[in-house]
Structure 1
């Protein structure tokens, strides 16, 4: 069995697909009785085997579904994709405050990882926008929230499945805009990119580092959900429905699937950097890279954000998520070389007080 990263392979001793939280609890107890670990798996979008095991693979697809939608919350199964959540909430005029760029990942998976989106500078991570969770802990189903079993609630959010299996979630909702205005702002360097992200009053904001004829170019995307003027330096604007904007990666993914790039190994390097040191680390990293080091469909993302109250996400103060999302395309750097580059990035980040993001691909030392 492989995950999206396509680097690590493991064959589970057994795969179970529970349809209820009690069935999930039973699977975890049975695994423990046989001395096996139980690892939850949603859509397998981890990149270095985090959703794989040689023990018991707990397939959460049987726990998918949106059970209730109200004006401020949605109750969903952990195996539900964010696409399915949005399909249920948007017709009623609501949306989760934070969405991942790619909607075909599961609620349980991203809450376990943290879950960063373009609105995380305002709302924090997806894990910080959960009202309550259903979790299997030590083989028993447990309901938890900030007021009920807060120890469990804090341990599983951002805890990549190490402290319990999330089976259901109550998600916060906010009113959804009908249309958005996406504005492209070219930036001189990483410092300018981060300044635009911090100072622009946009609901959704993100950044990329792209190859260009002159080397690497920095670009911010500021998305306005309501009335407002494009930020200074805007070179392009595009008006979209909110639904199309939220699902903007779907055509790109379809093209990557057709080209075979979606099935290539994805050695992703992702680190949280402290704000004051972020620009220097980003520029030092990209200065030593070529497009072959990134891959034909690789992407470099930069996102200034706030984490919120998620104790398991030990991000530094004023964090910046720096993501070098490599693809091991034919004719480009090897998987081994990309993993070595990820290790170097992590070492560079740790030297200034940064930390890894748990869904990345970094080989262990020693």
Structure 2
């Protein structure tokens, strides 16, 4: 069995696909009795075996489904994808405050990781926008929230499945816009990109670094919700589109990558949280040591200034910036081993600046 990263391959002793929370309880107790490791798995979008095990693989897609949508919340199964959540909430004019760029990942999986999106500068992580969780912890099913069993609530959000299995989540919802205005703004360098992200008033904002004939080019994307909004200064491209289409904007790219075979290649992703004051220097030094072959043919470099509130399991520095070097081991490019070594160097560089890793990345253990 492999995950999206395609680097680690493990064969579980048992695979269990529970249909109810009670089935999860039984699986957890059985694994404990057999002294087997148990790892929850959604759509397997981890990049270095985080959703794999040689023990019991718990396939939570059997717990999909949106059970209730209210005026300000939705109750969903942990195995539901964010695409399925949107399909239930958008007809009612509602949306989760934070969405991942790629919608085909599960609610339980991203809450367990933290969950970061383009609106995280305003709303924080997906883990911060959860009102309550049903969790199998200590061999029994419990409901937890900020006011009920907060120690369990805080342990499983961002806990990568180590402290309990999320079976259902009550998600906060907010009004969804009908249309958005997506504005592209070129930036001089990393510092300019981060400054623009901090200063621009936009509901959704992100940054990307792209190869160009002149070297690495920096670009911000500011997305304004609603009608009649003025593009930010420096905007060179504007696209107006329905909110639903904007949320699913990666689907054509993913379909093309599947056709080209790139989606199935190994994805050694390096992802680190950097402290705001030192982020630009780490980003620039990393790029100075990189070529396009180190990134891969379909690799992407993302920069996102964000806000993280109370998620104790998600260790981030102050004024955090998520720097993501999403490599693809394409033919004719750097090898998987070389890309993993580069990720290790990135993490070491980040740690020296006071940063930390995002635990869904691909980083080998240090040598020596």
TM range (shorter): over 0.9
SS class of match (1:131): strand
Give, in angstroms, the shift of residue 216 of structure 1.
Answer: 0.2
Partner of 1:307: 308
Superposed CA deviations along residues 115-162 of structure 1, whole A, max 9, x for unmatched, are: 000000000000000000000102111110001000000000001001
The two structures have a TM-score, normalised by structure 1, of 1.00
Give, in angstroms, the shift of residue 113 of structure 1.
Answer: 0.2
Partner of 1:59: 59
Give, in angstroms, the shift of residue 219 of structure 1.
Answer: 0.1
Q: Distance in 2 between matches of 1:113 and 1:48?
A: 13
Partner of 1:349: 350
Partner of 1:239: 240
Q: Distance in 2 between matches of 1:70 and 1:345?
A: 43
Superposed CA deviations along residues 285-309 of structure 1, whole A, max 9, x for unmatched, are: 0111000000000000000001121
Q: Distance in 1 between matches of 2:11 and 2:116?
A: 30
SS class of match (1:332): coil
Superposed CA deviations along residues 2-33 of structure 1, whole A, max 9, x for unmatched, are: 00000000000000011111110110110010
Partner of 2:321: 320
Q: Distance in 1 between matches of 2:282 and 2:6?
A: 27
Q: Which ranges of structure 2 fall in alignment gaps of 5 or more residues? A: none
Q: Distance in 2 between matches of 1:10 and 1:26?
A: 23
User: Quick check: 1:80 aligned with 2:80?
Assistant: yes
Superposed CA deviations along residues 233-259 of structure 1, whole A, max 9, x for unmatched, are: 000000010000000000000000000
SS class of match (1:262): coil
| Ranges of 4+ aligned residues in structure 1 off by more than 3 Å | none
Q: Distance in 2 between matches of 1:209 and 1:89?
A: 33
Q: Distance in 2 between matches of 1:102 and 1:308?
A: 23
The two structures have a TM-score, normalised by structure 2, of 0.99
Partner of 1:117: 117
Superposed CA deviations along residues 23-82 of structure 1, whole A, max 9, x for unmatched, are: 101101100100101100000000000000000000001100000001100000000000
Corresponding pairs, count: 366
Give, in angstroms, the shift of residue 283 of structure 1.
Answer: 0.5
Q: Distance in 1 between matches of 2:114 and 2:219?
A: 25
Partner of 1:99: 99
Partner of 2:47: 47
Q: Distance in 2 between matches of 1:84 and 1:35?
A: 35
Aligned CA RMSD, in angstroms, stands at: 0.5
Partner of 1:335: 336
1:246-285 alignment to 2 at 5 Å? 246-285=247-286
Q: Distance in 2 between matches of 1:59 and 1:274?
A: 36
Superposed CA deviations along residues 291-340 of structure 1, whole A, max 9, x for unmatched, are: 00000000000000011211111100000000000000000000000000
Partner of 1:157: 157
Q: Distance in 2 between matches of 1:258 and 1:307?
A: 37
SS class of match (1:263): coil
Partner of 2:208: 208
User: Quick check: 1:5 aligned with 2:41?
Assistant: no
SS class of match (1:234): coil
Q: Which ranges of structure 1 fall in alignment gaps of 5 or more residues? A: none
User: Quick check: 1:170 aligned with 2:170?
Assistant: yes
Give, in angstroms, the shift of residue 365 of structure 1.
Answer: 1.7
